[in-house]
Chains A and B, each alone.
Chain A
Amino acid sequence: MNRKLLLFVWLFFCITSLVFAQEQAVTGKVTDAEGTPIPGASVVLKGRSVGTNTDATGSFKLNAPANGTLIFSFIGFTTQEVAIGNRSVVNVQLADGNQQLDEVIVTGLATSVKRSNSANAVASLSAKQLTGVTTPVTTDGAMQGKLAGANIQANGSVPGGGFNVQLRGVSTLGSSASQPLYIVDGVYIDNGQYSSGRSEANKAGAGSSTASQDNNGNRLADLNPDDIESMEVLKGSSAAAIYGTRANAGVIIITTKRGKGGRTNVSFGQDLGISNAYSYYGGADWTADKLTNYFSAADVSKLQAAKQNGTYTDWERVIYGETGSIKNTHLSVTGGNEKTKFYVNGSASNETGIIKNTGFTRYSIRANIDHKLNNWIDFGISTNYVNSNNDRGWTGNDNSNINYGYSLPYTKPYTNLYPDATGVYPDNDPSVGENPLAIRDRAVNNQKVNRFIQGFNANFRLINNATTSLTIKVNGGLDYQSGFATIWLPTDLQSQRQEANPGFAQDTRTEVYNSNIQVAGVFTHSAMGGKLNLTSSAGAVRLHRDFNYNYVRGQKLPVGVSNPARGGVQSIAAEYQRNTDVGIFAQQEANYDDKVIGTVGIRFDKSDLNGNNFDKYYAFPKASLAVNLTRFGNWAMASSAISALKPRIAYGATAGLPSWGTPYSQLGSTGIGGLSGLQPSTVLGNNQIKPERATELEYGLDFGLFNNRITGEFTLYNKKVFDLIQPLTTAPTTGVTSTNINAADLVNRGLELTIGAEVIRSKAITWFVQPIFWFNRSEITRLDIPERLTGGFGATFGQWRVKQGYSPTQIVGQPRTLPTTDPGYASSWTSYGDQQPKYEFSLNQRVTFLKNFEFSALLHYRHKFTVVSLQRVLWDEGGNTSDWNSTSLGLTDGGKVAGSGDQVAPNGIARQNVNGLDANGVPREGYNPSIASFLKMREVSLYYRVPKAVLGSAFRNVIQGVRVGVSGTNLLRWTDYKAGYDPENSNFGSLALGSGVDIGSAPLARRMMFHIAIDL
């Protein structure tokens, strides 16, 4: 440190004298085409990193050389370059523009570039795109359908999130992070899914899989989407290379809103809404014949009694038929002066689900403060405290009759479940084992989080003259999260009374602490009379993660007691993880007259997660080149059609770290007869483990037509992932079931096309459409372990196959295709397609009309992807599937096509035991995975902005703006998926391979909201 400090002090005292040569003060005002001031517009001196933002009156002031050029930009407007030409006042009118060619995007850890000069297809979403249409519960939900190259899947419909975000295909086969790295205002934030113990309470984990089936939200849910100003998505290794060792699954950089100075703005917003189930699945009628032929004849009298006295009830509609309520309130204050700017936002979100006693509340307060100490030092802090509270309910897999998602399919409509006058819930039929209403009303599955995210940045502009600048940037922060999860199954529940130790209560504490700090120097130099701009940056990064988890579990509880410490049988657990990564980076960017823009860079990273390789640096190089063809000569001017044309190419490398514990061969504790013993884990550690490493070559063409009224971004990529960590499945007779080794390579190839067009642009009406099309194909190119099946619930229902030459997300299952005598018989599975869709397409539209109305709609289509579903299996076995009684399939009991003389069985019977493909190669209805497509109207809204003139006369200008509107989520859906409620579902959370299994799920929820926003 000492040498660096000395250098810093030297720079401090010796070089500041160079600053501010030959400059003058320039002031001015930025307005839109109608003369309304634009606050927060960016004003930058061309070729330098000197700039400011306009205040609330649209005014700006900065020092600049008299012969300089100023660049004015703001999201939603076309950027303008204006030569100062010795003027001291420069007023500018910006023209509307929907395209984002001029926004600034990240290219390095300390530098950025204009989109029109970027060599990567970096997707970005503004606040308007994320939260401007409807209010999403969580940030990941707000991205669905809006990003080319992103496969974003909801894990369920319970409020509080739970999303699986896959950028550009598969980046790990499960041993490294499958989710992107999220960075908020320079802080590396945690996005884990933490266990509550629910899978232990309902024994969901007792079956074939050890993966988490707690159905929890991921912790991005704590971030209030309303605080986000913009989001940049570095989808692949070429764009994310400078983030090195944690960036294999992509990097999402979130910038929150900040004060713009000037007049203090108070903004209040309120959403009120409802949610309900999109569709139901059961409802088949019950008759005496049905009971006698296929179920229990002894129940006929119960059925007749229930039908007679009117207690025959469709319990699915009782449990899932609630109307959820949505209430979001936010109050923000922004303002400041020349030196200090602030943004403070307090928000409360409260949403209940379509199932009683499920819901999500989040209280968030944020203060972002920036201060300019003097002309060469500024700093800022971003502070966010969040309290969230999530009741997740009881859907998904179960092995203990607890989850209503699992018991409802089997519950007969003639069984009474309502509590009696004294509040006692009757028992369900013993074969179902539990009363779903009792679980809904009495069982607890709650997760609370208190979270504090603190970011800081400080910039020291040591040199700042006409041709040269040197800035030292220090930034970082911490993310501290204290989670508290409660599970309670009361002792007197029907299911618990059957247990040897009835009652289950668990108190789980999860503490996650992330901190990161980065020191970087950025040196810019302008040569060739300002035509060549060079930016050099270098620095170091250190990241630390501390994870502490413990729980107290009590069983054999006294009736009515939820404190686990009162349990007659108790267990505890504690787990500690700590991890440190270190990185060094350097990057050189060159821009020749906005014609040719090139970047080279490298990062070196080491991490103590790499076992004995903890002190070894791994290198991650990058290089990119973009050429703005329209800037060569004046051919583009001559052709009025082409306004921008930019071929680009980029290459980069990233990595993914081994998950915690990979190097260790553990001895676990066991006991018998009061004695304590040791026994080995069935997983053997590997301390020679290396990170998973990816390289990506991305190339494409960006274009603008008709003065950029139509813009497009076309990208092809080829992302190769090497040294993927795989369990070498040993012969289990050895007592070792697996060890993790660097055993596989894969490649993702894909195409992304985003087009934006202002179809109509007139005073009366504007119509903007944005079609996005993308697909990804993955293939395993090397596999040094035996092919294996993973995920799901066994080959009968479909599993993921890891096999060289095939996609890692390929789903296979019974029956086998070779005769039993064939040596390849054992692995000759039937293929049921791929979990990744053939392609995705979304269409975003925005229409403004009658001056103050705005209509938006987002349609999202996903084509042909495979879903492993056990949902219909449950409903068929229970006799309740809506088409159970129908004989429309024309099959016999056993699933054969009924010939003459054969008895045709009801669909619900005929589908049982059915596996395989039909004559057309389509999976038969039965136990098989389904191949499905869907079209969803993700978002739709209509807003009205009360004209200023009206406000002025009505409220004497106290109220600056009022916007009211209505919006909805999932208002329309089409799908050919018949094996469950919705093809978007995951019992296994965000597992890299194995997510997206539909079992015990709840209906898709549709949300409708009314919004009002008032600016003072």
Chain B
Amino acid sequence: MAVALVGLNACNPLKTDLVIDPNFPSVGSVTNNATKGQLDALAVGQFSLARNGLSSYLQVVGTIGKELFNFNTTESRWMTELNGLRPIDNSAFYNRATTDFGLPIRQANIVIASLNSTNSVTDQQKNGYRGMANTFKGLAYLYMLNAQGSNGVRLSVEDPFKPSKAATYAESLTGIAKILDDGASQLDQAGASFAFPVPAGFNGFNTPATFKQFNRAIALRVAIYQADWAKAATLLSQTFYSASGSLTAGPQYTFSPTPPDFANPLINTATIRIVGIQKMWDEIEAGDKRIAKVRVLADPATYSSGVTYTTKYIQNMYTSGTDPVPIIRNEELILIAAEIAAQQNNVAEATRNINIIRTAAGLPAYAGATTKDALVNAILKERMYSLFYEGHRWVDMRRYNKLGEIALPVSTMKVLERLEKPVAEVNWDLQNP
């Protein structure tokens, strides 16, 4: 009885108090007069969030593009719905692009808003935070747009209750290019170094000037999606493109299983088995070192839930929870250089760049036809092997209107043109016409 009476709170038994969240800091605490420590924590959060949704994205677009399959032991929809064997579901787990990439966009918007209402860092330093935030915002939008395709994306989402309508695909690309360009010019005015700590995966890209090369590389991707080859040629020179440099040069996402970090989500686990498409790897040229991206199984793996498919190749790129994942690599830039040249009918430059890749892969020089179409097809094929499990095959074939040319591992499969607009986006528009 005495114990319960103590619960009476001594003086006024009818008093209640406002309870401050004992578990988390609040968003409100950073949106006004943020300290430098808070801004830095938000900046690190921006780097961390750039990895949000990565595995789901790469595995979904890889499956749709038929470069890999996810033999998931507890979920047959990877094989059935994403391969057009059953209706695509606009509320399913695989249709997360706007959710996963919306969060880094919000983070960027919070960073930018916090900077506008604090004096804890200098204006020059502010531009460093802004340029970094806009770069990751542009990258997140680009991933989102790749998944959503012709559905487009909402380019203005600062107020969560008043988002803009989705722009067309072309408008979306223009909008993303603008965000990246804003970031680039902010980086230009950010001084010699960033005020915030930069994760080790960005070594070589951790000053405003070098980070801008990364920004321009993403902008370059946007430009080739726009098929704006002149602009692409200009951007190429502002990136870290190096004909003689390491193919793996480029910023990376790093991982650690120790919280609050997390382990590399692209590795194979007990349930998630990322496998290579049998035909694609059977047909790789003899001696191609890129075969190391997959491991050959002694007993082929068979998937038989909803559809039956057998392959002897299993992904071998990531095996440890601490393996880093490239964001964009010199190898991609070289192939983009080849593609720009091919599009601009510069056969010598195109083949020179193709051969950098082929030589590195241990293959003889390119000996095929040198028409524009032939070169583009050759580049697409090199991209398929060079950029395996990096999320390009499906997007590449789509931008060249070649989805129909993707070999179907199972004849009843289809190649989707895009994912459905997620149900939450559809409903928001229905409710807020």
- Given the interface pairs A730-B161, A730-B424, A794-B93, the reply to whether A569 lies near B257 with Cβ below 8 Å is yes
Pairwise interchain contact A672-B201, C-beta atoms closer than 8 A? yes
Cα separation A430 to B298 with both chains bound (whole Å): 13
B115 in contact (CB, < 8 A): no
Cα separation A681 to B106 with both chains bound (whole Å): 10
Cα separation A458 to B1 with both chains bound (whole Å): 10
Pairwise interchain contact B423-A826, C-beta atoms closer than 8 A? yes
Chain B residues, CB < 8 A from A477: 4
Pairwise interchain contact B26-A685, C-beta atoms closer than 8 A? yes
Closest to B72 in A: A399
Q: Shortest distance in angstroms between A241's beta carbon and chain B's nearest beta carbon?
A: 20
Cα separation A665 to B24 with both chains bound (whole Å): 9
Chain A residues, CB < 8 A from B299: 298
Chain B residues, CB < 8 A from A730: 160-161, 163, 424, 428
B residues contacting the other copy or chain, number (CB 8 A): 112
B58 in contact (CB, < 8 A): no
Pairwise interchain contact B199-A544, C-beta atoms closer than 8 A? no
A496 in contact (CB, < 8 A): yes
Contact stretch, chosen from A21-29, A163-171, A782-790, A940-948? A782-790
Pairwise interchain contact B48-A670, C-beta atoms closer than 8 A? yes
Q: Shortest distance in angstroms between A3's beta carbon and chain B's nearest beta carbon?
A: 12
Chain A residues, CB < 8 A from B427: 729, 786-788, 826-827
A500 in contact (CB, < 8 A): yes
Chain A residues, CB < 8 A from B17: 580, 608, 614
Q: Per-residue 0/1 for B1-13: is the Cβ within 8 Å of any A Cβ (1 yes, 0 no)? A: 1011101110101
Contact stretch, chosen from A416-424, A712-720, A733-741? A733-741
A86 in contact (CB, < 8 A): no
Cα separation A685 to B301 with both chains bound (whole Å): 47
A666 in contact (CB, < 8 A): yes
Q: Shortest distance in angstroms between A942's beta carbon and chain B's nearest beta carbon?
A: 45
Chain A residues, CB < 8 A from B51: 672
Q: Per-residue 0/1 for A463-502: is the Cβ within 8 Å of any B Cβ (1 yes, 0 no)? A: 0000000000000111000000000000000111011110
B304 in contact (CB, < 8 A): yes
B321 in contact (CB, < 8 A): yes
A511 in contact (CB, < 8 A): no
Pairwise interchain contact B201-A584, C-beta atoms closer than 8 A? no
Cα separation A681 to B160 with both chains bound (whole Å): 13
B76 in contact (CB, < 8 A): yes
Pairwise interchain contact A796-B92, C-beta atoms closer than 8 A? yes
Q: Shortest distance in angstroms between B190's beta carbon and chain A's nearest beta carbon?
A: 19
A563 in contact (CB, < 8 A): no
Q: Shortest distance in angstroms between B111's beta carbon and chain A's nearest beta carbon?
A: 10
Contact stretch, chosen from B95-103, B119-127, B181-189? B95-103
Pairwise interchain contact A677-B75, C-beta atoms closer than 8 A? no
Pairwise interchain contact B22-A735, C-beta atoms closer than 8 A? no
A680 in contact (CB, < 8 A): yes
Q: Shortest distance in angstroms between A300's beta carbon and chain B's nearest beta carbon?
A: 13
Cα separation A66 to B30 with both chains bound (whole Å): 77
Closest to B5 in A: A517
Pairwise interchain contact B199-A672, C-beta atoms closer than 8 A? yes
Pairwise interchain contact B98-A732, C-beta atoms closer than 8 A? yes
Cα separation A496 to B431 with both chains bound (whole Å): 46
Interface hub of B8, B16, B429 (most chain A Cβ within 10 A): B16
Cα separation A682 to B263 with both chains bound (whole Å): 21
- Select one of B4, B7, B41, B263 contacting A500, CB under 8 A: B263
Closest to A432 in B: B73
Q: Which of B120-163 contact A (CB under 8 A)?
A: 144, 153-154, 157, 159-161, 163
Q: Per-residue 0/1 for B71-94: is the Cβ within 8 Å of any A Cβ (1 yes, 0 no)? A: 101111100110001110111110
Pairwise interchain contact B200-A673, C-beta atoms closer than 8 A? yes
Chain B residues, CB < 8 A from A664: 21, 24, 26
Pairwise interchain contact A676-B44, C-beta atoms closer than 8 A? yes
Pairwise interchain contact B106-A608, C-beta atoms closer than 8 A? no
Cα separation A477 to B120 with both chains bound (whole Å): 51
Closest to A477 in B: B4
A749 in contact (CB, < 8 A): no
- Given the interface pairs A664-B26, A735-B157, the reply to whether A786 lies near B431 with Cβ below 8 Å is yes
Pairwise interchain contact B4-A733, C-beta atoms closer than 8 A? no
Pairwise interchain contact B197-A675, C-beta atoms closer than 8 A? yes
Q: Shortest distance in angstroms between B11's beta carbon and chain A's nearest beta carbon?
A: 8
A679 in contact (CB, < 8 A): yes
Pairwise interchain contact A684-B4, C-beta atoms closer than 8 A? no
Contact stretch, chosen from A345-353, A366-374, A571-579? A571-579
Q: Per-residue 0/1 for B362-406: is the Cβ within 8 Å of any A Cβ (1 yes, 0 no)? A: 000000000000000000000000000000000000000000000
Cα separation A677 to B269 with both chains bound (whole Å): 27
Pairwise interchain contact B73-A614, C-beta atoms closer than 8 A? no
Q: Shortest distance in angstroms between A937's beta carbon and chain B's nearest beta carbon?
A: 36
A540 in contact (CB, < 8 A): yes
B256 in contact (CB, < 8 A): yes
Q: Shortest distance in angstroms between B277's beta carbon and chain A's nearest beta carbon?
A: 18
- Given the interface pairs A676-B44, A826-B90, the reply to whether A576 lies near B201 with Cβ below 8 Å is no
A127 in contact (CB, < 8 A): no
A13 in contact (CB, < 8 A): no
Chain B residues, CB < 8 A from A912: 306
Cα separation A684 to B103 with both chains bound (whole Å): 12
Pairwise interchain contact A670-B26, C-beta atoms closer than 8 A? no
A850 in contact (CB, < 8 A): no
Closest to A397 in B: B74
Chain B residues, CB < 8 A from A667: 24-27, 29-30
Cα separation A714 to B116 with both chains bound (whole Å): 66
Pairwise interchain contact B21-A679, C-beta atoms closer than 8 A? no
Cα separation A381 to B4 with both chains bound (whole Å): 13
Interface hub of B4, B101, B102, B161 (most chain A Cβ within 10 A): B4
Interface hub of A208, A732, A733, A787 (most chain B Cβ within 10 A): A733
Pairwise interchain contact A796-B81, C-beta atoms closer than 8 A? yes
Cα separation A478 to B6 with both chains bound (whole Å): 11
Pairwise interchain contact A400-B271, C-beta atoms closer than 8 A? yes
Pairwise interchain contact B260-A733, C-beta atoms closer than 8 A? no
Cα separation A571 to B259 with both chains bound (whole Å): 6
B286 in contact (CB, < 8 A): no
Chain A residues, CB < 8 A from B109: 735
Cα separation A575 to B23 with both chains bound (whole Å): 6
Closest to A568 in B: B257
Q: Which of B281-338 contact A (CB under 8 A)?
A: 299, 301-306, 308, 320-321
Cα separation A581 to B201 with both chains bound (whole Å): 50
Cα separation A578 to B17 with both chains bound (whole Å): 11
Cα separation A736 to B13 with both chains bound (whole Å): 39
- Given the interface pairs A294-B304, A496-B270, A794-B89, the reply to whether A673 lies near B24 with Cβ below 8 Å is no
Q: Per-residue 0/1 for A698-731: is the Cβ within 8 Å of any B Cβ (1 yes, 0 no)? A: 0000000000000000000000000000000111
A570 in contact (CB, < 8 A): yes
- Select one of A1, A478, A577, A795 contacting B4, CB under 8 A: A478
What 9 A-B pairs are tightest by C-beta distance, nearest first? Answer: A735-B106, A677-B44, A673-B199, A786-B427, A677-B45, A666-B24, A498-B270, A500-B321, A671-B260
19 A-B contacts, Cβ less than 8 Å apart?
A207-B93, A399-B75, A400-B74, A431-B304, A433-B73, A478-B4, A515-B4, A576-B23, A661-B21, A666-B21, A670-B44, A674-B261, A678-B44, A680-B106, A729-B428, A785-B431, A794-B89, A815-B87, A827-B430
A interface residues, Cβ below 8 angstroms from B:
1, 203, 207-208, 294-296, 298, 381, 398-401, 406, 410, 430-434, 454, 456, 458, 476-478, 494-496, 498-501, 515-517, 540, 542, 544, 555-556, 569-571, 574-582, 584, 606-608, 612, 614-615, 661, 664-682, 684-685, 729-737, 739, 785-789, 794-796, 799, 814-816, 826-827, 877, 912-913
Please give 10 more A-B residue pairs, beta carbons under 8 A apart, in addition to A569-B257, A735-B103. A500-B269, A584-B14, A673-B201, A730-B163, A733-B163, A734-B106, A737-B424, A796-B81, A913-B80, A913-B86
B interface residues, Cβ below 8 angstroms from A:
1, 3-5, 7-9, 11, 13-19, 21-30, 38, 41-49, 51, 71, 73-77, 80-81, 85-87, 89-93, 98-99, 101-107, 109-110, 144, 153-154, 157, 159-161, 163, 197, 199-201, 253-254, 256-261, 263-264, 267-271, 299, 301-306, 308, 320-321, 420-431
